[in-house]
Structure 1
């Protein structure tokens, strides 16, 4: 049986890699879901304007649905949008790009349950496998750049490409996840094996 899912999509490396893994399995991704601040129309974690995400969705040949919200209504509006796209596409699941943070998984599974859907986590790994997942991202031919860092990484890293040199540099840092799972850095993906054309 082929599963039909929506993918929670930020435009970064994790969600693009999750999409690739889903598409290689017996899972049909019907649409992308992106949460944005109601007033600014920018994404929650990455602070990307929604038009940038639309360009990525077009290059990935998938419809994009936005969830316009704020902190106080985040969960409520997420569930409402999930129910809406569930009916529109006949979905049985929602997929996320989370990797090993148990709290994120518990939240995502709870949201899925409220919408009557199954939660899928195609990237789920042990924390010590994060480097291998990042290496897979590069090996597959994805192209991404860093657009945001926290205080654990040099500000000069904004604009860096995710490549072999980056993997070498970030794995030398102590207490930093190579994949930035705790928000150490965020990325914009502009090309890859599931893109129909490059955005640059």
Structure 2
């Protein structure tokens, strides 16, 4: 079966893509939706325009579409993206949805209307186990932003290892933020994964934007 991947460049969509390939699906393309608003309800905002670098090392075509990022209005943009999937003769999509009922419901409804099947292999997965599996399976990602009280902000911009994961999980339990960042507590960018042909080298600097808000400003990728 031919699928396209709704791809943001973060850990979840990259893991879902990995799952699809392991399950024997033929992945035709990556589809990235680029919102104009940071507070988009549907789509990741941070660094999604950089998925072109990941598509290159994955060896997959990338289709991009701009979105208003406005709640409800952006569903029109999602439909356009799914229509692009249909145009690739794919019969379904794979997503990195974890916990957001709003995102999953809208993707499922619009996909059903267009006759596309939806696969969300991370849905309701145990999130502490998932974070550990990411590192164990060879996924390398950096924290590109963090906004949660209690988050270990010194990890912003760092490639996360086993010890870092345990620190994040311990802080999540102590301060009550989502350990896999499904509530927007942090955003990630994958620099290496089992399907990558080579590791991406990312250069930039962490910047403090507020008392509990840090961002890694990417300046160069090669």
Partner-residue secondary structure (3-state), 1:84: helix
Task: Map 1:102-181 onto structure 2 (within 5 A).
Answer: 102-126=101-125, 129-152=126-149, 153-173=151-171, 174=173, 175-181=176-182
| CA displacement, residues 17-43 of structure 1 (integer Å, 9 cap, x when unaligned) | 111111000322111111113699xxx
| Residue segments in structure 1 that go unaligned for 5+ positions in a row | none
User: Which one has more relative contact order, counting CA pairs under 8 Å at least 6 apart?
Assistant: 1
TM-score normalised by L of structure 1: 0.87
CA distance in 2, matches of 1:179, 1:39: 22
Give the gaps of 5 or more residues in structure 2.
202-222
Deviation of the 1:92 alpha carbon: 0.9
Residue of 8, 11, 17 corresponding to 2:15: 17
| Structure with greater strand share of residues | 2
Distance change >3 Å, CA 20–CA 80, structure 1 → 2: same
Q: Find the counterpart in structure 1 of residue 74 from structure 2.
A: 74
Measured against aligned partners, the alpha-carbon deviations of 1:40-94 in whole angstroms (never above 9, x if no partner) come to: 9xxx5242162x210111111111111112034421122123213312x211112
Write the distance in 2 (CA, Å) between the matches of 1:49 and 1:98: 16
Q: How many residues align?
A: 192
What is the RMSD computed on CA atoms of the aligned residues?
A: 2.1
1:189 lines up with 2:186 in the alignment: no
